[in-house]
Structure 1
Amino acid sequence: MQIFVDIWPIAIATIQFAAMLGAAGHAMLTKSDVRSAAGWVGFILLVPFLGWLIYLLFGVNRIQRRARELRGLPRGITLPLPKPSTGELPSIESEERFELENLARFGQKMLAEPFEAGNTIDILENGDEAYPAMIAAIDAATRSVALSTYIFNNDKAGHLFLDALSRAHKRGVRLRILIDGVGSWYSHPSIIPELRKRNINYARFLHSFMPWQMPYLNMRNHQKILVVDGICGFTGGMNISEGNIILSRPKKPIRDIHFRVNGPVVTQLMRTFAYEWTFTTGEILDGADWFPEIIEANATHGIVARALPAGPDQGMNPIRWTMLAALTEAHESIRIVTPYFLPDSTLTAVLSVAAMRGVKVDIVLPATNNLPFVDWAATPQLAWLIDAGCHIWKTSGPFVHSKLMTIDGIWSMVGSANWDGRSLRLNFELNLECYDGAFAKRLDHLIDKKITVANPVTRQTISARSLPIRLRDAAIRLASPYL
């Protein structure tokens, strides 16, 4: 007994010392930000026992590892993937002031998806334009319908799609419907029993209420993809919800923009859907029903585009890095529309540098946000961007859920990703990268219309907030990587 009494303090001290050194070593080896590494090492060394324990709980980034484990990547990939780039750059006619060739070369190194010429992209405003076009495409389907959405509400809009899918099912069209596991519960009751009742082939992405699955609730499939017969595609930021049907005067209106896509890039949309479907269900989608040969929709004046799928299983998020590359290439204008604006320090710095070197930076945000705490967390850094010369606008009227970005009126990016850590670090997203002056100018026209009904955010209005409000915003900002 006396031996135990004499030994246990030594044993505890040894465990503490080993754990402390191990945690400190892990922080130094894995933290790319030297300030983060130094902060964690100091905390581990100066706070006995609790320091290394808190680091193990909150300091170790498990997101990428968990995502790769979920994907089964260590066991090898059996899904059809894009062929490596041949090194040929897209044929893009543009003014020399914007280094599109450099950006395109960067893009080929970032992601294997090739640039595809000869595409057409139609802009569809709100559910009033998007839903009829999408339902008409489903009604015209003869082979297949692949639909991926974050939210599929059991409401007026949801039943429009439900009825169209039922009609397609009765015609013998192959249906594959993928809904996010969390997003499927945004309406009560859920649409899932209705899909089941009509024998529509559906699946839920990472759906589980088991306690051991709870760590994965952060990884959501936020992609919005509809591909019909493998040749007609739709993508953007729009969910399936009656709030998007503005003309019906919903209680909570949502303004959004979706895109109808025709041309070779539709195959990339389908490939992204097939990847997520196989991961979720184990079924591999292949063959002409899903991947027919697609010719250029407009060989003369088509848009050069490619899909940018991104998720936490990738070491370098292609959407975030493409944003960074495009911002550094901007010479005249950067225009951003997003509902949630919580960029990390690197994106914030690059935006600030662009404004300070003379690029006109317009950032359009909703005045009324459906998630008020996101607006609170965003406010402190708006002051820093304004000081650097950026122009911040807040649109009046209904909540704006659109996600648009243009550079110099030539390059653009649209899709599902927001300017926040959830989209650029945790979610599975899909954007389209487009090289076409005419298309970028159409988006700029939409942005101009939003700015005409927007109010500028000034340094004075931000500084005029009361101390309790400023403390609230600063406190919420600490959680911004997870909002």
Structure 2
Amino acid sequence: MWNLLLAYWPHILAVISVLVAAVASVHATMTKEEVRSAIGWVGVILLSPIIGALIYAIAGINRIRRGSIAAERSAAGHEMLAHPSFDVTDELVAGRFGRRFAALKKLGDRITHHTLTSANAIDILKSGDDAYAAMVEAIAQARRSVILETYIFDRDPIGLRIADALIAAAKRGIAVRVLIDAVGARYSVPSIVGYLRGGGVSTDVFNGSIIMGLRLPYANLRTHRKILVADGAVAFVGGMNIRQGFTAEFAGKASAHDTHFRVRGPVVADIFAVAAEDWYFAAGERLHGQPWQIEQQEGEPDSPILMRAVPSGPDASIETNHKMLMGAFSVARHTIRIMSPYFLPDRELVSAMTTAARRGVAIDIVVPSANNLVLVDRAMTAQFNQVLKNYCRIWRSTGPFDHSKLLAVDGTWAFVGSSNLDPRSLRLNFEIDLEVVDTGFAGSIDARIQDIIASARQVTLASLRARPFPMRLLDRILWLGSPYL
């Protein structure tokens, strides 16, 4: 047998290479929705025998088949989460905000699993100091259950403070579940996972494990969601990971900025459903029964604030955030204000933005001057000209790095949460955002962005073109790899 292998190994390798390439090429052809993406991957697979198929298996498969999870929601007890009396009608939105926002509401109804609900409340937490303190307080006051899902959970003083609050809750009999992304869990060495498990907290990692590595063929897919739900009554959602660098307490004046949100009302049920679904996917445990029941909602149906949980990710909800943004840009009449640390929109979003700008909509985009990901910053700089030459404005905020993800349309509609405007958030990551229809809240987001613009530096086409050619060329080369940065 060994002699046979030695004699014919080139032929065997050729047959294996052809079979692997055929399978990978068929998969790319049948699953990719963009012809350019399909052609590109088939080219990589065919031109790099075996290695190309391996690269595709690691970085090219961008959808997890989780349809069975949605089908099992009722078995998991999720049928108890609905509060139909708080569901918002098209007529209410049209009467209060106009037909265009009623059309946007209908879009959300058709592309998400969750309804737009009324009688919600939302608080803006403008710093890590505020957000972490509020989270610790919610954990300490929990009477029945706490679930936390996050991308990064560092084992630093802030991480240990929150971990100790979770451990204390578990010791007093509270049902506690913690889910951390398999990539994000490795940002600290040693990981916080062992500390939590040692303290008696049920902890798991998403799409992989700390020791064995990432889960193939989905190694490029991550949960970027930041969710905390206590007692089914209060939820926290936003862009904030758990890291000491986002607090003035530990980082001083150089602390990075971010924005997080505390939410109450019927929308909490849907936020919990998203986290519970992810926990079931990772740990195989259904969260139902008395500890996980959603509290009876208070407030008058149809009363402000109107809100919807918008989960998106490489499963049945793929590109939901992308579709919501396309719809929002299409109904804008006066202003679109965007704040994102990583601004790398695809061609469709760029077209939607620039079309709105040509209609006379004032579009302002704020990105950091100081970015924590230099390669991403260089890649997005290479793309700035696509929007600048089409009547949009871009601003570089001054001061420390700002990780906030904020968007407001006409001071009426807001979209806030964990999604960046880049390929990873729009296609590869599991994200959660909040659609908020309320002039008070959207006006606050609008004002927050305007305040930052007041001290920001405007980016112009002239300043981009004045940069040395080798620098601009390097930016464009990095831009080519932007889908996987």
Q: 1:59 to 1:261 in 2, by over 3 A?
A: same
Equivalent residue for 2:223? 221
Q: Could you tell me how far apart the structure 2 residues matched to 1:106 and 1:383 are?
A: 30
Equivalent residue for 1:145? 146
**How far off its partner does 1:289 sit?**
2.1
Q: Could you tell me how far apart the structure 1 residues matched to 2:119 and 2:372 are?
A: 38
Q: 1:90 to 1:294 in 2, by over 3 A?
A: farther
2:387 is matched by which residue type in structure 1?
L
Gaps of 5+ in 1: 1-10
Residues 62 and 221, structure 2, Cα contact 8 Å, conserved in 1? no
1:63 is matched by which residue type in structure 2?
I
Residues 204 and 280, structure 1, Cα contact 8 Å, conserved in 2? yes
| Match runs of 1:38-187 below 5 Å | 50=47, 63-65=61-63, 67-68=64-65, 79=76, 88-89=89-90, 91-92=92-93, 93-96=95-98, 99-187=100-188
Equivalent residue for 2:277? 275
Q: 1:237 to 1:17 in 2, by over 3 A?
A: closer
Q: Could you tell me how far apart the structure 2 residues matched to 1:339 and 1:264 are?
A: 30
1:444 is matched by which residue type in structure 2?
D
1:116 is matched by which residue type in structure 2?
T
**How far off its partner does 1:219 sit?**
1.1
Local SS of the residue matching 1:400: coil
Q: Could you tell me how far apart the structure 2 residues matched to 1:412 and 1:242 are?
A: 28
| Match runs of 1:217-366 below 5 Å | 217-250=219-252, 253-297=255-299, 301-314=303-316, 316-366=318-368
2:172 is matched by which residue type in structure 1?
R
Residues 76 and 288, structure 2, Cα contact 8 Å, conserved in 1? no
Q: Could you tell me how far apart the structure 1 residues matched to 2:61 and 2:18 are?
A: 27
Local SS of the residue matching 1:217: coil
Equivalent residue for 1:416? 418
**More displaced 10-residue stretch of structure 1: 315-324 or 427-436:** 315-324
Residues 124 and 257, structure 1, Cα contact 8 Å, conserved in 2? yes
Residues 120 and 298, structure 1, Cα contact 8 Å, conserved in 2? no
2:196 is matched by which residue type in structure 1?
L
2:243 is matched by which residue type in structure 1?
S
Q: How many residues align?
A: 469
Superposed CA offset, 1:146-192 (max 9, x none)? 11111111112112212222322232111111111111121222212
Q: Percent identity?
A: 41
Residues 267 and 291, structure 1, Cα contact 8 Å, conserved in 2? no
Equivalent residue for 1:191? 192
Q: Could you tell me how far apart the structure 2 residues matched to 1:459 and 1:213 are?
A: 43
Local SS of the residue matching 1:354: helix
2:393 is matched by which residue type in structure 1?
H
Q: Could you tell me how far apart the structure 1 residues matched to 2:126 and 2:440 are?
A: 18
Residues 156 and 242, structure 1, Cα contact 8 Å, conserved in 2? yes
Equivalent residue for 1:6? none
Q: Could you tell me how far apart the structure 2 residues matched to 1:480 and 1:315 are?
A: 22
Equivalent residue for 1:8? none
Superposed CA offset, 1:110-167 (max 9, x none)? 1121111100000011112111111111111111111111111111211221222232
**More displaced 10-residue stretch of structure 1: 442-451 or 286-295:** 286-295
Residues 147 and 226, structure 1, Cα contact 8 Å, conserved in 2? yes
2:162 is matched by which residue type in structure 1?
F
Q: Could you tell me how far apart the structure 1 residues matched to 2:135 and 2:70 are?
A: 37
Equivalent residue for 2:6? none
Residues 256 and 400, structure 2, Cα contact 8 Å, conserved in 1? yes
1:224 is matched by which residue type in structure 2?
K
Q: Could you tell me how far apart the structure 2 residues matched to 1:459 and 1:59 are?
A: 36
Q: Could you tell me how far apart the structure 1 residues matched to 2:70 and 2:176 are?
A: 30
Q: Could you tell me how far apart the structure 2 residues matched to 1:247 and 1:17 are?
A: 58
Superposed CA offset, 1:181-211 (max 9, x none)? 1111212222122212211221111223547
Local SS of the residue matching 2:218: helix
Residues 239 and 404, structure 2, Cα contact 8 Å, conserved in 1? yes
Residues 119 and 296, structure 1, Cα contact 8 Å, conserved in 2? no
Q: Could you tell me how far apart the structure 2 residues matched to 1:26 and 1:166 are?
A: 44
**How far off its partner does 1:94 sit?**
3.6
Q: Could you tell me how far apart the structure 2 residues matched to 1:314 and 1:362 are?
A: 32
**How far off its partner does 1:440 sit?**
0.2
Q: Could you tell me how far apart the structure 2 residues matched to 1:58 and 1:100 are?
A: 43
Q: 1:333 to 1:195 in 2, by over 3 A?
A: same
Local SS of the residue matching 1:261: strand
2:335 is matched by which residue type in structure 1?
S
Superposed CA offset, 1:66-104 (max 9, x none)? x117x76699775456779999437235443x6111111
Q: 1:80 to 1:388 in 2, by over 3 A?
A: farther
**More displaced 10-residue stretch of structure 1: 243-252 or 439-448:** 243-252
Equivalent residue for 1:206? 207
Local SS of the residue matching 1:341: coil
Aligned-CA RMSD value: 3.4
Q: 1:415 to 1:40 in 2, by over 3 A?
A: closer
Equivalent residue for 2:3? none
Superposed CA offset, 1:369-426 (max 9, x none)? 1001001111122112010010101101110000111111100111111111111111
TM, length-normalised to structure 2: 0.87
Q: 1:29 to 1:292 in 2, by over 3 A?
A: closer
Residues 118 and 297, structure 1, Cα contact 8 Å, conserved in 2? yes
Q: 1:281 to 1:17 in 2, by over 3 A?
A: closer
Q: Could you tell me how far apart the structure 2 residues matched to 1:202 and 1:396 are?
A: 38
Equivalent residue for 2:399? 397
Residues 119 and 298, structure 1, Cα contact 8 Å, conserved in 2? no
Q: Could you tell me how far apart the structure 1 residues matched to 2:223 and 2:174 are?
A: 25
